[in-house]
Amino acid sequence: MYALPLLSLAIWIPIFFGLAVLATGSDRNASTARVIALVGAVLGFLVTIPVYTGFSTELGGFQYVQKVEWIDAFNVNYHLGIDGVSLLLLLLNSFTTVLVVIAGWEVIQKKVAQYMASFLILSGLMNGVFCALDALLFYVFFEATLIPMFIIIGVWGGPRRVYASIKFFLYTLLGSLLSLVALIYLYFASGGSFSLLDFYDTPLGMNAQIAIFLAFFMAFAVKVPMWPVHTWLPDAHVEAPTGGSVVLAAIMLKLGGYGFLRLSLPIVPDASHALAGFMIFLSLVAVVYIGLVALVQTDMKKLIAYSSISHMGFVTLGLFIFNPQGMEGAVIQMISHGFISGAMFLCVGVLYDRMHTRDIGDYGGVVNTMPVFAAFFMLFAMANAGLPGTSGFVGEFTVIMGAMQSNFWYAFLAATTLIFGAAYTLWMYKRVIFGAVANAHVAELKDINLREFVVLGTLAVAVLVMGIWPQPFADVMHTAVSDILSHVAHSKLPGQ
Amino acid sequence: MQYITPLWPAFPEIFLLAMACVILIADLFIRDENRGLTYFLTQLTLAGCAALTWVTASNEPVHTFSGMFVGDLMSDVLKLVTYFGVISILVYARDYITLRGMFRGEFFALTLFATLGLMVMISANHLLTLYLGLELLSLSLYAMVALQRDSAQATEAAMKYFVLGALASGMLLYGMSMIYGAAGSLEVTRIAGVIADDGAKNVVLVFGLVFLAAGIGFKLGAAPFHMWLPDVYHGAPTAVTLFIGSVPKLAAFAFVIRLLVQALGVEEIQAHWQQMLAVMAVLSLIVGNITAIAQTNIKRMLAYSTISHMGFLLIGICAGGLNGYASGMFYAVVYVLMSLGAFGMILLLSRQGFEAENLDDFRGLNHRSPWYAFLMLLLMFSMAGVPPTVGFYAKFAVLQAIVEAGHVWLAVIAVIFSLVGAFYYLRIVKLMYFDAPEDTTPITPRGDAQWLLSVNGLAVLAFGIFPQPLMALCASAILASL
């Protein structure tokens, strides 16, 4: 039916171009490297457009399926396919990659080829995670993303980058190694298959389910990150270069949410139900407590990092209340958070490139020298606070609606974020942007250039479109969400 | 029983022995400036062996020398990997030994004799043959470690290696004599037959097994018999460390398979040695990974990393079953590939009067040479077991086998300690990529070493993306040989 293996192209085009960029070598060819990287990123995005247009919103199950034998010995297949949820994340990832390449255009002057290559390869690998239908393939892509990210934080990061990169790597590796053992266990439980679809139909006893759930939890909770395993994220964000922060917040965190959705919920539904209270508790702690932590930050990047954790709390909350609103809200929140957090980090990046400080105290009165920037920043800050009309509102509101059906107090606690979110975001905005010009450095600031305008403008459009007209996003995933919910509703305990 | 047994399974060994003698004598008449000739003869000999092994390879096990020697698919595969390994070792080491005055006939003759020892071990079907191969290997290695006569460190390492190695050989012999007492034969297949017939209640047999396990632990370098390893790796000239740290593990694997699986693989006895191996495996993982963190010398660090890798390999063997042994064999082959690359890189960075043996010597390698830094990055991530490198599949296969055997807890211990292990591999990547170089001397290896090292590093990635052929080869080798 489909002539081109579009999903494979979406995975391998960025990786191939990444390697091509790497081959340009030293910084003497930096401009060639940038051009090739841009071409690769744009091509990678272009191939996802026919995936979207050719996607049927009615069909259940997975589309664009491609299955090739890979490792016979363990019955592992190169098995790709997407449903509505993966489609959205695929689009988000390919889209963000283009912006990241443009955002790093002149900011990065050191080892340009390696920088661009890391991002392209990372993008391809993450597309792989979203498309994989084979557990081992999923795991390989999931783990492989650590290598480029480790390099990105460590090479182009801030002063404490070594600490941050190693912490990032080890933290996430621990979780994923345990989930590897769980996957191997499932391989035997399902009678010798690594296909996720087979895992969905494998009956499992309660103890096994709980153990597997906890192993997956270690892998995905660290990635999301959920309280209390979130401590790597502020470190990683603060030290990462702007592009790294953008990809980290916009896409990498989604790997965790996606993992819960694709693996934990359908494979171990009974354990998911049994431990839902625990997951909701952790999510609410993230929403409320981390929201308060964000309030006291003095470093802008750290503030946005904590705000990310708090917003990702909505995702896990939405997933574990097991109703359509909750889950759709969670997915919309993932996409919207991808746009908003990416935009926020880019805004901080714009300031940092000019002032080389992220401390809120060093700023004040930026609106006087950078009015256009201030307008964009305003929009994103409002979106981050969940203002109606922006994408941030849609996701949070839907999740809160879902939570309300489940338990009033869940909804009540989750809704406090509308207050805390507004408080920490707008207070930071006020201190940075408004007021009198704080010092001579601020007085010398130049407004954003065309390149920055394009990047921020594109994101602003995305945030507004999704906020005003979320229908196309929601339509795509209705079927996928009801599929997943039917898996979750169906007990897998033997003898039932 | 045939009176005239076919000799062809042993042709590669016979050819190698003949050529080693020829090289030893021919070298006497070669002047120093033409020493390259010895080198080429040695490489040619190894290539010839590979061709012979290829031609004589057979799917069915073939016995010769009255059942003392066996040629089967496992031995063929392991031997071919060994030749490839030794050829790479000589290529990598050429510059290094030339600059340190070791580019002499002895080095090549000893290398060939050690290789012969490996081959005999791999193909042994009799405990005495096994011992013979082992001693030939060990004695050659003792001499190679001490080859740099004016280095006190090397002499000390050789002494330590010799004393402890002799002790381990003694234990092995003692164990073998008890096996002989219990089973009445030293031939691998017959021992298995006798035990199967009599039932395996014999206390002497189990007692002998303890000594064998200790000997094996020593030869593999598994804790708690690992003490010699860091000192020898550190003290020996890096070219020799490259040898000790790579190909002998293949023979050690074959040794374990022949001795424990083929001769003593009866279920009741198996339960005994599986327990012993499991203890050694867990200890190796703990000692290897944790101690490696504290090292500042990269050769010592890799020595401890070897210990932890051997722990993983032992877990595969513990798992038992064709799957377990196949995963062990795959692990051994992959380990050789990785350690060749890693030690090859150390040789590459060493030059006249400078040994690149501290971790700090890798500082800023990405600035000096992005290509070699990239290769080392692949090797390190492969050792840490991060996909998409082949090291991941080696660990994965072992974990899969052990979970199949029902020991999920062993799998969990293994992954937790491989997390600990990831730290010190990451540290090398950190030094190469995140730090500025202290030493900016350009890296100028010979063309062939450069190419081979690139192939070696990329193979780690290529086998990681397409692990199927190598895995299938190991699986079919084990299937055909057991």
A64: enclosing H helix or E strand: strand A63-71
Length of chain B counted residue by residue: 482
Q: For the segment A404-458, what is each residue's pLDDT rounded down to a tens digit? A: 888 888 888 888 888 888 888 988 888 888 888 878 887 888 888 888 888 889 8
Specify burial of residue A477 (Cβ count, 10 A radius: 0-12, 13-18, 19+). buried
Q: Which residue of A has its CA nearest to B421?
A: A170
Coil, helix or strand at residue B19 = helix
Nearest-CA distance from B142 to chain A in Å? 39
Within an 8 Å CB–CB cutoff, is residue B429 touching chain A?
Answer: yes
B225 close to B300: Cβ distance less than 8 angstroms: no
Are A144 and B396 a contacting pair at CB < 8 A? no
The set of long-range contacts for B176-182, using a CB threshold of 8 Å and a minimum separation of 24, is: B176/B127, B176/B128, B176/B131, B176/B208, B176/B212, B177/B208, B178/B204, B178/B205, B178/B207, B178/B208, B178/B211, B179/B127, B179/B205, B179/B208, B179/B209, B179/B212, B179/B263, B179/B264, B180/B127, B181/B208, B182/B208
Are A71 and B387 a contacting pair at CB < 8 A? no
Q: Give the separation between CA B467 and CA A137, rounded to whole angstroms.
A: 13
Are A161 and B434 a contacting pair at CB < 8 A? yes
B194 close to B183: Cβ distance less than 8 angstroms: yes
Within an 8 Å CB–CB cutoff, is residue B412 touching chain A?
Answer: yes
Q: How far is CA B410 from CA A475, B257, B276, in A?
A: 46, 21, 14
Nearest-CA distance from A25 to chain B in Å? 8
Nearest-CA distance from B287 to chain A in Å? 19
Q: SS3 for B304-332, per residue?
A: HHHHHHHHHHHHHHHHCHHHHHHHHHHHH
Q: Give the separation between CA B385 and CA B289, rounded to whole angstroms.
A: 13
Within an 8 Å CB–CB cutoff, is residue A168 touching chain B?
Answer: no
Within an 8 Å CB–CB cutoff, is residue A23 touching chain B?
Answer: no
Residue A89's nearest CA partner among A58, A127, A138 is: A127
Q: Give the separation between CA B52 and CA B72, rounded to whole angstroms.
A: 14
Are A74 and B434 a contacting pair at CB < 8 A? no
Find tokens 């092994």 and name the residue: B53
Within an 8 Å CB–CB cutoff, is residue B475 touching chain A?
Answer: yes
Q: For the segment B56-98, what is each residue's pLDDT rounded down to a tens digit? A: 888 888 888 888 888 889 999 999 999 999 999 999 988 888 8
A325 close to A414: Cβ distance less than 8 angstroms: no
Q: Which residues 100-119 on chain A approach chain B with CB closer than 8 angstroms?
A: 111, 114
Digits of tens for pLDDT over chain A (496 positions)?
456 788 888 889 889 988 888 888 777 778 888 888 889 889 989 988 888 888 888 887 788 888 888 888 888 888 888 888 888 899 889 988 988 888 888 777 788 888 888 889 999 999 999 999 999 999 999 999 988 888 888 888 778 888 888 888 888 888 888 888 889 888 988 888 888 888 888 888 888 889 899 999 988 888 888 888 888 888 888 887 888 888 888 888 889 899 998 888 888 888 888 888 899 999 999 888 988 898 888 888 889 899 989 889 889 998 898 888 888 889 988 999 989 999 999 998 888 888 888 888 888 888 888 888 888 989 999 898 888 888 888 888 888 888 888 888 888 888 888 888 888 898 888 888 888 887 888 788 888 888 888 888 989 998 998 888 888 888 888 888 888 888 888 887 876 5
Q: Give the separation between CA A173 and CA B397, rounded to whole angstroms.
A: 18
Are B411 and A181 a contacting pair at CB < 8 A? yes
Sign for the CA dihedral angle at B377, B382, B383, B387 comes to positive
Dihedral pair phi/psi, residue A168, rounded to 5°? -55, -50
Within an 8 Å CB–CB cutoff, is residue B372 touching chain A?
Answer: no
Contacts of A143 in chain B (CB under 8 A): 386-387, 392
CB atoms closer than 10 angstroms to residue B372: 22
ipTM above 0.85 for this complex: yes
Are A139 and B387 a contacting pair at CB < 8 A? yes
B96 close to B238: Cβ distance less than 8 angstroms: yes
Q: Give the separation between CA A74 and CA A56, rounded to whole angstroms.
A: 33
Are A170 and B426 a contacting pair at CB < 8 A? yes
Length of chain A counted residue by residue: 496
Nearest-CA distance from A180 to chain B in Å? 8
